[in-house]
Amino acid sequence: MAFELPSLPYDYNALEPHIDEQTMRIHHGKHHAKYVAKTNEALEKQPDLAKKSIEDLLRGLNDLPDSIRTAIRNHGGGHCNHSIFWTIMKPGGGGNPTGDLASAIDSTFGGFDAFKEKFNSTAAGQFGSGWAWLSLDKSGKLDLQGYANQDSPYSLGLTPLLGVDVWEHAYYLKYQNRRPDYLAAWWNVVNWDAVAKRYASAK
C-alpha cells in the first residue's frame, strides 16, 4: 500500500493571517505531495519494506538497504514531519499547554516562557533548512533540538511531539528572510490539544 498525502484538517486559508493561504497550498499540495511521491518511488522495488509504517522505516533507517536509505531519510522524513506538522496546528490555536504536558515543560525548561525562548532560538538558529522538534525520549524525558533537512526524531529513537518547519518554503512568501517573525506568528496556530494527545500516547 503506497503512502498517501493526508488531507489538511482545515482549509488552506484557515491559518491566516499567521500562515498565508498561498504558502499552505504550495507547502501541502506541492512540497509534501512530492515527498510522498518520492517515498513511494523509493519503495517500488521493496515490497516488504513498503508494508511498514513511515515511523518504523525512519526508526530503522540504519537497517535499510543503501539503495533507498537516503531517499527514505529525506523524502520519507519529509512525509512524516509534514504529516505531524499539519495536525499540531489549527485556526484559533496558540495559548499555553495544560495538564501533564505543561508540568513536564515547566519542570524540564523552567516554565513555558523559558521553553518558548529555547524553542525559538533553536528554530531560528537552525542553519539552512530544517526543523526544531520537542520530542519524548525513551526514559520519558522531553528533548528539544534542531534537525537538518528532513531528519526525523524517530531516527534518534525519539517520539516527536511539537515541531516547526523552518525551510524557507514554509515562510518565505509572507516573511521573506524574517524567520523570527514567522516563528513569533506560528505560536498563534499551535494546537496544544493535539500536542498533549501526542505526549499522552508517547508516554
What are the strands of the beta sheet with 130-136, ordered from one edge? 142-148, 130-136, 159-165
Question: In the complex with Mn ion, which residue's Cβ is closer, 36 or 170?
Answer: 170
How far is Cα 198 from Cα 108, in angstroms, rounded to an integer?
17
In the set 3, 133, 160, 165, which binds Mn ion (CB under 5 A)?
165
Please state the closest distance from residue 159 (CB atom) to Mn ion, in A: 20
In the set 131, 167, 182, 186, which binds Mn ion (CB under 5 A)?
167
Please state the closest distance from residue 169 (CB atom) to Mn ion, in A: 5
Please state the closest distance from residue 27 (CB atom) to Mn ion, in A: 6
How far is Cα 140 from Cα 144, in angstroms, rounded to an integer?
13
Give CA 103 to chain center in angstroms.
22
Q: Distance between terminal CA atoms of the chain?
A: 29
* 115 part of the interface to Mn ion, by CB under 5 A: no
Interacting residues with Mn ion (CB under 5 A): 165, 167, 170
